[in-house]
């Protein structure tokens, strides 16, 4: 998986988390989507992106930008 896909997953999770906090502040809900559920979905996608990035860093044996 390329780094740009991991970054896209992280950014989408960040946007969803911000949207969930807006839902909580304004006490808004759309059907079953309350602020708590939207924040949880956003945070889980950020955790997934972080775990994918850590896995990619640890499994890459070539010279990467961190080893220079």
Where would I find the H helices in 1-68? 3-26, 35-59
pLDDT digits (tens, 9 = 90+) for 1-58: 788 999 999 999 999 999 999 999 999 999 999 999 999 999 999 999 999 999 988 8
Q: H or E element: which one contains 65?
A: none
User: Coil, strand or helix: which one is 62?
Assistant: coil
Question: Given pLDDT bands bounded at 50, 70 and 90, which one contains residue 67?
Answer: low
Residues 6+ apart with CB under 8 A from 29: 23, 35
User: What local confidence, expressed as pLDDT, does residue 60 receive?
Assistant: 76
Is the model's pLDDT at 61 over the cut of 90? Answer: no
User: What local confidence, expressed as pLDDT, does residue 59 receive?
Assistant: 84
User: What local confidence, expressed as pLDDT, does residue 63 receive?
Assistant: 64
Distance CA 1, CA 53 (A): 9
């Amino acid at each position: 998986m390329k780094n740009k896909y991991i970054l896209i997953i992280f950014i989408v999770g960040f946007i969803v988390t911000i949207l969930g906090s807006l839902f909580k502040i304004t006490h808004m809900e759309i059907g079953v989507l309350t602020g708590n559920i939207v924040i949880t979905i956003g945070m889980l996608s950020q955790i997934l992106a972080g775990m994918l990035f850590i896995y990619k860093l640890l499994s890459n044996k070539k010279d990467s930008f961190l080893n220079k």
